Amino acid sequence: MGTKTLVMGVINVTPDSFSDGGMYSSANEAAEHGLRMLDEGADILDIGGESTRPGQKEPLSAAEEQERVLPVISAILSARPDAILSIDTYKSSTARAAIEAGAEIVNDVSGFLWDGEMANTCAALQCGVVLMHTRGRPDEWKSQPGLAADEILPLVKHDLDERLHTALRAGIVRSRIVLDPGYGFGKRLEENYPLLARQAELRALGQPLLAGVSRKSFLALKLRPLYGGTDVPMDQRQNATVAATVAAILGGTDIVRVHDVRPAAEAARIADAILAYA
């Protein structure tokens, strides 16, 4: 951490992810995709078995989640024992199973809010953790009240500080903790822009930052006039993703979480070169 921006490649082993659901639903397909991302420049692979798309209501059972992700972890590490893997889960039992299978990081989109055992579990496992900010659960996002542009950053900063101290109180070593503003998670589309513009202020919390802006709907919002006012397909959001990724890096991000690794790895090199003279 600190010598360059790290690229985290996303592997969704799900039939219903908002961005690539069903594309890599088998363990072999997902593992092959992960190995390609490593070859393209990924530093970390983030493996998830449950979609947290807006409107999602029914949680996946821990058993089914583990059936999806554990074979992928095993296959990737069998081919590339040096690969650094992250498990994208908010369930403590899945976190434990994944770390015991060889993953090294728990990426919890709830920031330890949705499973009361997660903080103590991660402390016992002595793994790295990513604590993401979210407001409410996916089925609540469309109905919760919006925020003014000047309210979003203070709220995220306050809540992440609480999540950080929950982790520290549980015994998680500070050097193992990364914070994520949670772009798109419980934020209305327009609310993500003032958050990204002021993201550097989150550095005051004293922790490395991760940003996941890849293919997000708030990017598509600004592209609609170029597409006749219609929604923008996922495969047409790559350029916007690169632009937002560079903005995040220039705003203090240490890790970028992306679906398309090669463009992000190239963009990160340019952004890092600029920051070397800042």
Both tokens assigned to 112: 């330890």
Strand partners for 47: 11, 87
d(CA 172, CA 165): 10
216 carries an active-site annotation: yes
**Residue 172: CB atoms within 10 Å:** 25
Q: What is the pLDDT of residues 238-275, one digit of tens each?
A: 999 999 999 999 999 999 999 999 999 999 999 999 99
What domains are there in the chain, each with its CATH number? 6-275 (3.20.20.20)
* pTM of the predicted model as reported, rounded to 2 decimal places: 0.93
Q: One of 96, 135, 216, 237 is an active-site residue; which one? A: 216
Tokens of 27: 């363990």
- Judge contact between 37 and 78, C-beta under 8 A: no
Reported as a single tens digit per residue, the pLDDT across 124-176 is 999 999 999 999 888 888 888 899 999 999 999 999 999 999 999 999 999 99
Catalytic residue, candidates 187, 188, 237, 257: 257
Q: For residue 115, name the pLDDT band (cuts at 50, 70, 90).
A: very high
Helix (H) or strand (E) holding 168: helix 149-170
Q: Is the pLDDT of residue 53 over 90?
A: no
Annotation marks residue 257 as catalytic: yes
Continuous segment of H or E residues that includes residue 204: none
State the average pLDDT over residues 214-231. Answer: 92
